[in-house]
Amino acid sequence: MALAPDGSASGPPLKDPETGESGHIDAPGLQGFVFALFFIFGGITSLNDVIIPKLKELFDLSYFQAMLVQSAFFAAYLIISIPGALLVKRIGYMRGAVVGLLAMLAGCLLFIPASQTAIYGLFLFALFVLASGVTVIQVVANPLISLLGPARTAPSRLTFAQGFNALGTTLFPYFGSIIILGSLATVSAAELSGPALDAYRAQESRAIVHAYIGLAVALAIVAAVVWRFRNHLKGEAHEASSGLGGFDLLKRPRFGFGTGAIFLYVGAEVAIGSLIVSYLMQESVLGLAEQQAGKLIPFYWGGALIGRFIGSLILRFLSPGKVLSVVACGAITLLLLAANMEGALAGYSLLAIGLMNAIMFPTIFSLASEGLGPRAADGSGVICMAIVGGAVIPPLTGGLADAAGSLALALTLPALCYVMIALFGLFALKPVKPL
């Protein structure tokens, strides 16, 4: 059981042991805090796009090295998803949520020693710990929101909660740019060495520390509230774990192709988001200062927010496979414009890819899972682990930028990812044989 970055979920339902129906509790206050969880973990994920250019400058990193921020963060999906699910099954959803929140809090606080020692590896470790908590929270959040009201209105609550997730990814980068990228330093790390360089890094990274300390305070408050409600869920029923047995489903062409498409989609989305600031700062594009470029990241994630509502309406009337292929081709077209044009057209073409991304994850997920029947939970766990694409594709894209000496050429890799996604959409037009 797991939840993807855009709020899509999988896993065993909670059942009332007497009626066999999904149980619920009447706790509107708790429901508001669960919405806050969606908002926070969505925002924390997109905040990586802001700290990447900051750390790149502080440690004079190559694009490949800077993209390790995303590798450290998204590796948690691969490593923590299954242990996190087992933990939640053992201690329950509410206590599991508290564990996840405390892990996130610990990750935020680890930015303090990372800044004081000015060691890049400690920043990466802090991000991994933070993402581990996010992973556990995502294992919990969707079924928890399902419990907080009648079963018949659960889809409405889930959609509303996903809106908070997208709102977080839109707002956090803007304010993060003001706090983290607002430094007015008159020198750069490349001009310093020795103790002077260490002092510069410690001083300039304080902006990152301040941002994450603020998040730690918010997480502590939410954890305290959730702990207060730890005994409010009665009759939790969890299906027996099938271990790693779900990997045999990869032999099914539809599921195997779809799992690969999830890997490529998350990787492409994260890689593009990570390059936005550096790309818009180029003189041939918009020539913006670092902070001003960072403030435009919300256009990328905001496009996904708007596209989610538009896409949900379109998918009621058109084939999901066809729609997926069309938006993937749209992303390829925008990447070609961004890579081959200059000025505002290039910059805003890159930002507009967020609109194309909006329906991709849930559509790929549903198409890949079609026909799995009683194996749906196993399949969902495997698909969730494929989110590790966010740890692999970004550094490869950064390495390509370093080797070619061009961010425009590096966009070839995300474009190839979208080509495969478009092909999956066409492949999924064929009927699938149910298990």
CATH number at residue 86: 1.20.1250.20
Calculated CA dihedral for residues 398, 403, 408, 409, nearest 10 degrees: -110
R_g of the chain, CA atoms, integer Å: 21
Q: What is the pLDDT of residue 152?
A: 53
Contact at 8 Å (CB) between 330 and 416? no
315 and 338 fall within a common domain: yes
Q: What is the pLDDT of residue 106?
A: 96
Mean pLDDT by 10 residues, the chain (435 residues): 40 41 52 78 87 88 92 90 78 84 94 88 95 85 64 52 79 85 62 75 82 90 83 55 66 93 95 94 92 91 84 82 95 96 96 92 84 72 85 95 93 97 95 81
| Domain assignment of residue 33, given as a range | 1-241
Q: Which of 187, 213, 241 delimits the end of a domain? A: 241
34 and 163 fall within a common domain: yes
351 and 226 fall within a common domain: no
Q: What is the pLDDT of residue 243?
A: 47
237 and 343 fall within a common domain: no
231 and 301 fall within a common domain: no
Q: What is the pLDDT of residue 143?
A: 58
318 and 231 fall within a common domain: no
Q: What is the pLDDT of residue 227?
A: 84
Domain count of the chain? Answer: 2
225 and 101 fall within a common domain: yes
237 and 276 fall within a common domain: no
43 and 83 fall within a common domain: yes
HSE-up (13 A, CA, CB side) for residue 296: 22
Q: Which of 241, 271, 299 delimits the end of a domain? A: 241
Distance (Å, whole) CA 82 – CA 178:
36
Q: What share of residues in the chain are helix, strand, coil (percent, to 5)?
A: 75, 0, 25
81 and 199 fall within a common domain: yes
194 and 310 fall within a common domain: no
Q: Which of 211, 241, 271 delimits the end of a domain? A: 241
Beta bridge partners of 9: 3
Q: Please report which residue ranges of 67-184 form alpha helices under DSSP H.
A: 68-91, 93-109, 111-117, 120-147, 154-180
